[in-house]
């Protein structure tokens, strides 16, 4: 292809990526080393507030941002180096916990608590998604042609449902007097409170993720299964290979590039888990890194938001994704170069 043609095809996409991904990323990177604050003044304010029968007026020293001549809040921006990262990672508390011989206390710091859960969540769901996706694909592939359409439709349903709605429906099955919980309670005749138990909430969040993402793996694997070399399979049967051996030595090696692909996508998505925290209201029990960033960005009633810590948290999340993606990426790179 001529360079000119190539550029014409790629140009718009590169432009979009620069505007919508690269520039915001650079801006977040810069902001993670800066703190922007309003210029604060302390003034005595008399404020009268409504009561049921009469007002109460109080005079109080209040901190208020200074307003400049054009009616805008005056702000200053200063470079703070790694301060926002330090506020997030709180190494002093980490060292204190270790030197006191109570490393469990590290998990009381939001960032480490979020990191612990995010990593567990990502690494536990990965094999389950790949395994379940492959199992459904094999089942559908071996199903009678007449019911295949229906089976595919049913298997795809969880993937089609909007994430939050999917999470909420599972929440309603289990939280409070949900159908499943009530049923379990009658059956075991005990009182079950799913949402009060951190481990149970964690398991539900993982269950939801596997349930909603497995269909995606299934579709990819099912497509892959259609291209398995039938001659190889037949010769394996003639050689006396069992069903398991055929799967182990013919089908899985053939699907390996797809497995790596699914793993890459899933690692990226699961590390940025967010819907689960909102859907299951799990803040008290479990939080994810992405939710932590969101929480910093969310303004409180007085309009404060922690942009700097949110930026630092976003950068750390990105670095985390890069690290977690390195093994599968290296593998793909090796395969690509033909070194094995």
Partner 1 sequence: MKIPLVLAATAMLMGGAARADCAFENDVDVKILAAAFEAWKAVTDAMAECGNVQAELDQEFRTKQPAAFAANPSLYQIGGVSNGTITPLLNEGTIRPLDDLVEKYGQHLQPNQLIRINGEIMAVAMMVNTFELTYRSDLFEEYGIDVPTDYDGLLAAAETLKDAEGIDYPLGAMTKSGWDLAMEFINVFQSSGEPLVNDDSTPNINNETGMNTLELLKALSDYMDPEFLVSDSTYVQQQLQQGRIAMANIWASRAGAVDNEAESSVVGKVETAMSPIAPFGDRPVATIWWDGIVIARNISDEAAEAAFRVAMEGMDTEMVEANNDAAVWLIQGYEPGRLAQGAIATATHDPAPLSYPSTVEMGLMHTALGNEVAAYLTGSRSAERTLDAIEASYSTAAREAGVLN
For the chain, what is the total number of helices (H) and then of strands (E)? 15, 4
Which of 69, 231, 239, 301 lies at the binding interface for partner 1 (CB under 8 A)?
Answer: 301
The C-alpha atoms of residue 108 and residue 231 are separated, in whole angstroms, by 57
Question: Which of 275, 288, 289, 328 is close enough to bind partner 1 by CB under 8 A?
Answer: 275
259 versus 312: smaller Cβ distance to partner 1: 312
The long-range contacts involving 288-293, CB below 8 angstroms and separated by at least 24 positions, are: 288/114, 288/117, 288/118, 288/121, 289/111, 289/114, 289/115, 289/118, 289/313, 289/316, 289/317, 289/320, 290/118, 290/317, 291/114, 292/110, 292/111, 292/114, 293/317
Answer yes or no whether residue 229 interacts with partner 1 by CB under 8 A.
no
Cα(270)–Cα(268) distance, integer angstroms: 6
Phi/psi at 269 (5° precision): -70, -45
55 binds partner 1 (CB under 8 A): yes
Q: Which is nearer to partner 1, 266 or 309 (CB)?
A: 309
Asked if 14 interacts with partner 1 (CB under 8 A), we say no
Q: Is 284 in the site for partner 1 (CB under 8 A)?
A: yes
51 forms part of the interface with partner 1 (CB under 8 A): yes
Residues 6 or more apart from 1 whose CB is under 8 A from it? none
Per rule CB under 8 A, is residue 299 in the interface with partner 1? yes
Q: Applying CB under 8 A, does 63 fall inside the site for partner 1? A: yes
CB of residue 299 vs partner 1: minimum separation in angstroms?
A: 6
Other CB atoms within a 10 A radius of the CB of residue 5 amount to 9
Please report how close the Cβ of residue 65 comes to partner 1 at its closest, in angstroms.
5
Counting contacts by CB under 8 A, is residue 230 touching partner 1?
no
Binding site for partner 1 (CB under 8 A): 35, 37-40, 45-57, 60-65, 67, 71, 73, 84, 87, 108, 110, 162, 164-165, 175-176, 193-196, 198, 274-275, 278, 281, 283-285, 294-295, 298-304, 306, 308-309
């Amino acid at each position: 292809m001529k360079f000119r043609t190539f550029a014409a095809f790629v140009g718009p996409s590169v432009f979009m990526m620069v505007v919508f991904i690269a520039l915001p990323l650079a801006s977040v990177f810069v902001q993670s080393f800066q703190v922007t604050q309003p210029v604060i003044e302390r003034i005595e304010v008399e404020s009268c507030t409504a009561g049921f029968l009469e007002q109460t007026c109080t005079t109080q020293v209040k901190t208020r941002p200074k307003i400049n001549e054009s009616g805008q809040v005056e702000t200053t921006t200063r470079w703070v180096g790694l301060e926002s990262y330090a506020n997030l990672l709180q190494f002093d508390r980490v060292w204190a916990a270790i030197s006191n011989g109570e490393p469990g206390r590290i998990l009381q710091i939001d960032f480490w608590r979020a990191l612990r859960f995010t990593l567990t969540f990502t690494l536990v769901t990965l094999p389950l998604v790949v395994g379940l996706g492959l199992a459904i694909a094999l089942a559908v592939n071996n199903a009678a042609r007449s019911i295949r359409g229906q089976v595919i439709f049913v298997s795809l349903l969880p993937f089609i449902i909007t994430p939050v709605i999917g999470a909420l429906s599972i929440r309603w099955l289990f939280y409070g007097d949900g159908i499943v919980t009530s049923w379990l309670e009658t059956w075991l005749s005990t009182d079950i409170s799913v949402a009060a138990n951190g481990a149970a909430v964690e398991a539900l969040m993982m269950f939801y993720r596997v349930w909603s993402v497995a269909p995606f793996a299934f579709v990819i694997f099912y497509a892959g299964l259609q291209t398995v070399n039938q001659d190889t399979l037949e010769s394996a049967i003639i050689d006396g290979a069992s069903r398991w051996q055929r799967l182990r030595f013919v089908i899985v090696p053939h699907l390996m590039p797809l497995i790596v692909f699914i793993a890459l996508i899933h690692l990226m998505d699961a590390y940025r888990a967010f819907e689960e925290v909102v859907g299951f209201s799990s803040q008290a029990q479990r939080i994810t890194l992405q939710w932590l960033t969101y929480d910093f960005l969310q303004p409180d009633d007085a309009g404060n938001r922690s942009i700097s810590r949110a930026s630092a948290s976003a950068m750390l999340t990105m670095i985390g994704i890069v690290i977690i993606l390195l093994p599968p990426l290296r593998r793909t790179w090796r395969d690509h170069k033909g070194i094995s």
